[in-house]
Structure 1
């Protein structure tokens, strides 16, 4: 459980750094994402989740 909470905290920190360093770029990316159909966002989310799980499985062995 500690690993999960640590991973979530790191995710929040990294996302916060992106907003702090590139606010205009993040706004532009949000506009692009908002223009996408839900099916495209769903597929992108599923692919990202799958890659994340596979990377975690590979790293943790």
Structure 2
């Protein structure tokens, strides 16, 4: 049995209905990413360690 992922949206997702962002779901071995404007469309998945490296690089940007 597979459990449905819990999707989280950034607190920086913008005004109005907050749909100007991506959502992430933290799975055991990977991170899933989807467009909040089209949640039923395809998702991207990344190994957890690769996504953590990506986030650290983004945080270092001015």
Where on the TM-score scale, by shorter chain, does this alignment land: which range?
0.3 to 0.5
Name the larger-Rg structure.
1
* Structure 1 or 2: more helix by fraction: 1
Tell me which of the two structures has the higher relative contact order, counting C-alpha pairs closer than 8 angstroms and 6 or more residues apart. Answer: 2
* Structure 1 or 2: more strand by fraction: 2
